[in-house]
Amino acid sequence: MIHPPEDSSTRICTAVIHEEVDSDVEILSEHQVSEVEHPSQFDCTSDIEIIQPRPPKRPIDASTLELPQIVKKPRKRRSALTSSAPLVTSITGTTTTLAQHTHLIATIARSSSNTVLDTFEQERLRINLLSLSSGRLALKETFEIMKIPKNRKEIATLASPMTLEEFMLGMYTILRMVQESCPGSSLSRPSEITGASNANRMNRKGLMTLIEEMQKEAWGFLKQVHGLLNESKYWESLSSRSTAEHVEKFRDQCHAMRSLIEEHCPSHGKRTQLR
């Protein structure tokens, strides 16, 4: 390409432009260039507040921590009975007070062991004595009803063979519970009466004979257990050697037999049941 020749006016304008450009350019020294390349060295903190981080907290030594000790308050035990009023009526008709129960507990403790009974054993013995006394009271009331011939005749007339069989077996159960609680005592044999299973095939005379036999057998068991519980060795053995469940079963059985007899002897009248 052929460039047109430059005239003098063109060269003059070019020179003027170069001068203007050079006048606006500032030549930096090496020190200034270094400051530009490392701007972090500039003092920029004149108008800015630098927030220093908070010093870390001193670590807590776990070994110096002391957990609060839990103080377990002793359990307050309520006294069983604080009244001096009679608790129950004994089999002989006399009242039994708390002092007499306490004396009996001490007597049983000395006879069975020379060591002092701990709290658990004392509580178990106390419960057994109360349950046993309640059962003996119900047994005594049953005995008072059955010992009258007129009442026995009334019961034989109103009770069914199944009822008399239940009474006979219930009295035998009570008797064995008392005998088995005392080591060395002889055990009574169960009744050999066939029971009420054949009652449907009997005539009226045979039925009345069966009822009288079962009532007589039950009355014999009742008299026997009544006599055993008047002996201190059976009373103490049943209360000290038996579990609370065993004595409670004895109590419930005695009350059940009393209720059964009262229901079939209306002339005697019902009494308030004590548990």
**Section 107-119 average pLDDT:** 55
Q: Which amino acid is at 90?
A: S
What is the reported pLDDT for 227? 92
**Section 227-246 average pLDDT:** 87
**Section 75-80 average pLDDT:** 52
What 8-state DSSP symbol labels residue 20?
H
How far apart CA 174 and CA 263 sit, in angstroms, is 20
What is the reported pLDDT for 243? 87
| Total length of the chain | 275
What is the reported pLDDT for 91? 39
Using an 8 Å Cβ cutoff, are 177 and 246 in contact? yes
Kindly indicate the confidence band of residue 166, based on its pLDDT and cuts at 50, 70 and 90: very high
Question: Over the Cα atoms of the chain, what is R_g?
Answer: 54
Strands (E), the chain: 88-89, 95-96
How far apart CA 203 and CA 154 sit, in angstroms, is 20
Confidence check: pLDDT of 107 > 70: no
Confidence check: pLDDT of 73 > 50: yes
* Residue for token pair 């377990």: 72
Q: Which of 24-38, 232-246, 259-273 shows the highest mean pLDDT?
A: 232-246
Among the ranges given (24-33, 123-132, 168-177), the one the predictor scored with the smallest mean pLDDT: 24-33
How far apart CA 27 and CA 89 sit, in angstroms, is 128
How far apart CA 264 and CA 269 sit, in angstroms, is 10
Higher pLDDT, 155 or 81: 155
**Section 129-147 average pLDDT:** 93
Domain boundaries, the chain: 88-263
How many other C-beta atoms lie within 10 A of the C-beta of residue 90?
18
What is the reported pLDDT for 61? 57
How far apart CA 190 and CA 188 sit, in angstroms, is 7
Q: Which amino acid is at 203?
A: N
Residue 74 Cα distances to 77, 122, 135, 166, 177, angstroms: 9, 19, 35, 49, 39
What is the reported pLDDT for 184? 80
**Section 54-70 average pLDDT:** 58
Confidence check: pLDDT of 139 > 50: yes
pLDDT tens sequence across 184-234: 888 888 888 877 777 778 888 888 889 999 999 999 999 999 999 888 888
**Section 43-60 average pLDDT:** 59
What 8-state DSSP symbol labels residue 4?
P
Kindly indicate the confidence band of residue 263, based on its pLDDT and cuts at 50, 70 and 90: very high
**Strand, coil or helix: what is 95?**
strand
